[in-house]
């Protein structure tokens, strides 16, 4: 392992050791802000939603070129009380959130180090962003603020100031190029009843019984294999004791599809089922808690072709893919964006998450080439 990779991994571990549950990323954001400042980057700061910004370099020539935005999300799926102990092995590093997305955030610094070491002069501004709210119910709030900042009416001409492209960096998924955003709809269903005693009030409606019956009807919906469409009841809760008729129960539902129209049809079917089971003594509330828009960059787009070329040049065969990442937001607006990974790994979103060390050098090289040639 060379010194550059060792330094990058040490930074990834330092970032991973700071809890950053979605909507609670402030401590990690401050750490990144301070490190950006130590790197003598320009315009370092944190915006009102918690995103951290820094700009690499500036010259008179840069004002005539569009900027490039490279981002990585700060947040993690893990609650603040999860054990963040790291296990380092010769070929891999294990720890919750190490790949998703502590390594991705560290990669922003690795990019700066590599560009400086090679004395590569970029024709336009490079904006580095560590953004919040990518995971779970963050609903892409962070990247939305990023896009609004850079796409709002500029002081100079629109063509000069709008970004050339957005590049989203994930710690894992090396070899994948996400140029399609997977549409997502999320619901919370709450059921309330009067409840009662399991013996004396037997026959009164139970919120748990009603919810499980409703869940069975929803999950019995036939989903198409093509376009690929999925459904998941990720959380279910309710009741107060084994001998109490439950007065309240709740579930959270995740719907996804490669096709926007198919997703909307499925969402409408779920809503119709919920409406159909309304009855006296049972209050059912359906709440939309998440929506990730879909979008797609054409296969022949220059950014997609360049991302593929950069992977092939480091000896990795690229795979174009669809996913639910920060790229969804700019893609949904017709803006050029791809998501790429820095290394391989596994166990994402579990306490057994790990990253492989050996592929990281190629992953960073891919990123450096993609950024340095983005203006060509």
Q: What are 2-26's pLDDT values in tens digits?
A: 999 999 999 999 999 999 999 999 9
pLDDT, residue 203, reads 93
The predicted pLDDT at position 159 comes to 45
Quote the percentage of the chain above a pLDDT of 90. 92
Q: How many CB atoms lie within 10 A of CB 209?
A: 16
Q: Closest Cα to residue 71, out of 183, 180, 149?
A: 149
Are the beta carbons of 122 and 41 closer than 8 angstroms? Answer: no
pLDDT at 121: 86
**Percent of the chain topping pLDDT 70:** 96
- Mean pLDDT over all residues of the chain? 94
Residue 158's pLDDT is 44
Instruction: Give pLDDT, residue 157.
Output: 46
Which residue segments constitute the domains of the chain, with CATH numbers given? Answer: 3-182+294-372 (3.40.630.10), 183-292 (3.30.70.360)
Task: Please give the pLDDT value at position 152.
Answer: 81
Q: How far apart are CA 195 and CA 240, in angstroms?
A: 10
Q: How far apart are CA 108 and CA 95, in angstroms?
A: 20
Where does residue 64 rank: exposed (0-12), middle (13-18), buried (19+ CB within 10 A)? exposed
Residues of the chain with pLDDT under 70: 1, 58-63, 153-160
């Amino acid at each position: 392992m060379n010194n550059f990779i060792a330094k990058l991994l040490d930074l990834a571990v330092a970032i991973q050791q700071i809890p950053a549950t979605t909507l609670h990323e402030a401590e990690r954001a401050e750490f990144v802000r301070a490190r950006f400042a130590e790197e003598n980057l320009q315009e370092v700061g944190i915006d009102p939603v918690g995103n951290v910004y820094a700009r690499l370099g500036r010259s008179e020539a840069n004002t005539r070129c569009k900027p490039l935005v490279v981002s990585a999300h700060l947040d993690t799926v893990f609650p603040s009380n999860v054990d963040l102990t790291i296990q380092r092995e010769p070929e891999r590093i294990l720890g919750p959130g190490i790949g998703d997305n502590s390594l991705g955030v560290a990669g922003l610094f690795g990019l700066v180090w590599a560009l400086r070491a090679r004395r590569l002069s970029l024709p336009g501004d490079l904006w580095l962003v560590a953004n919040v709210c990518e995971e779970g119910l963050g609903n892409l709030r962070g990247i939305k603020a990023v896009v609004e900042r850079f796409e709002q009416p500029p002081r100079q001409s629109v063509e000069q100031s709008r970004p050339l492209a957005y590049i989203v960096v994930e710690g894992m998924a090396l070899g994948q190029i996400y140029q399609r955003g997977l549409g997502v709809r999320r619901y919370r269903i709450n059921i309330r009843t009067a409840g009662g005693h399991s013996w004396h009030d037997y026959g009164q409606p139970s919120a748990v019984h009603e919810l499980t019956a409703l869940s069975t009807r929803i999950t019995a919906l036939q989903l198409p294999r093509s376009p690929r469409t999925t459904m998941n009841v990720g959380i279910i809760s309710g009741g107060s004791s084994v001998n109490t008729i439950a007065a309240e129960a709740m579930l959270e539902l995740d719907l996804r599809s490669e096709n926007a129209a198919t997703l909307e049809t499925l969402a409408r079917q779920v809503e119709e089922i919920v409406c159909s089971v309304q009855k006296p003594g049972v209050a059912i509330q359906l709440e939309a808690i998440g929506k990730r828009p879909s979008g797609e960059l054409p296969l022949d787009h220059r950014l997609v072709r360049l991302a593929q070329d950069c992977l092939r040049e480091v000896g990795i065969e690229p795979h174009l893919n669809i996913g639910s990442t920060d790229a969804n937001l700019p893609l949904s607006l017709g803006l050029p964006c791809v998501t790429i990974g820095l290394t391989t790994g596994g166990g994402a979103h579990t306490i057994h998450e790990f990253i492989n060390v050996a592929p990281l050098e190629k992953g960073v090289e891919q990123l450096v080439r993609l950024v340095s040639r983005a203006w060509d």
